[in-house]
């Protein structure tokens, strides 16, 4: 039920937030949060935002990073509204995961909206949020939320940020 979903979302605090129990069903995504994300944050390769349940338990997370997309990968109707630069600025949500204890309660959708808001309201503008879906099921989740596939890469999807 929606009421059980924690809505506190914040930048990962590696000293405060408990990531040790996080299990989303995809080992690589669990390991990344436990073992690798701090280094990526330190090196400015990615930012990580977490949903917190209880005092400090991480129940979901996503990462954001700067990206660029070749103009020719975008659909013609969007391309027409853009200058003819070779590549356009974007924000990439590299990872998104929800703990199995919290799945199916809307938290994935809440995290996705939070990511879209952050990308749309950044002082550094970007044309779209892009995501790398790890498989077709993940791609279906993003399509359910209005994302479209980039030309020639069915597992890379985007959503324009204008109007968010």
Ligand X SMILES: CC(C)(COP(=O)(O)OP(=O)(O)OC[C@H]1O[C@@H](n2cnc3c(N)ncnc32)[C@H](O)[C@@H]1OP(=O)(O)O)[C@@H](O)C(=O)NCCC(=O)NCCS
Residues belonging to the active site:
142
Task: Between 88 and 131, name the residue whose CB sits nearer to ligand X.
Answer: 131
End-to-end CA distance of the chain: 26
Q: How many CB atoms lie within 10 A of CB 23?
A: 12
The owner of tokens 């204008």 is 162
Q: Does 154 bind ligand X (CB under 6 A)?
A: no
Residues 123, 11, 29, 164, Cα dihedral to 10°: -40
Q: Any contact of residue 106 with ligand X (CB under 6 A)?
A: yes
Rounded to the nearest whole angstrom, what is the least distance from the CB of residue 62 to ligand X in the complex?
A: 9
Site map (CB under 6 A) of ligand X, residues 75-104, x = contact: ---------------------xxx----xx
Q: Candidates 10-18, 45-53, 82-90, 129-137 — which segment interacts with ligand X by CB under 6 A? A: 129-137
Q: HEC states along 68-92?
A: EEEHHHCCHHHHCCCCCCCEEEEEE
* Positions that interact with ligand X (CB under 6 A): 24-26, 29, 96-98, 103-109, 133-134, 137-138, 140-141, 144
């Amino acid at each position: 039920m929606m009421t059980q979903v924690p809505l506190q979302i914040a930048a990962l605090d590696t000293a405060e937030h408990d990531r040790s129990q996080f299990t989303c069903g995809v080992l690589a995504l669990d390991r990344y949060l436990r073992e690798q994300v701090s280094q990526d944050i330190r090196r400015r390769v990615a930012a990580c935002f977490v949903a917190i349940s209880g005092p400090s338990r991480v129940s979901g997370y996503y990462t954001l990073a700067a990206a660029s997309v070749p103009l020719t990968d975008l659909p013609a109707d969007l391309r027409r509204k853009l200058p003819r630069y070779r590549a356009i600025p974007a924000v990439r949500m590299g990872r998104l995961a929800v703990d199995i204890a919290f799945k199916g309660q809307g938290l994935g959708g809440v995290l996705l909206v939070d990511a879209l808001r952050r990308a749309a309201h950044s002082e550094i503008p970007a044309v779209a949020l892009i995501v790398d879906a790890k498989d077709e099921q993940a791609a279906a989740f993003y399509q359910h939320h209005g994302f479209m596939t980039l030309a020639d890469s069915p597992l890379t999807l985007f959503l324009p940020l204008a109007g968010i």
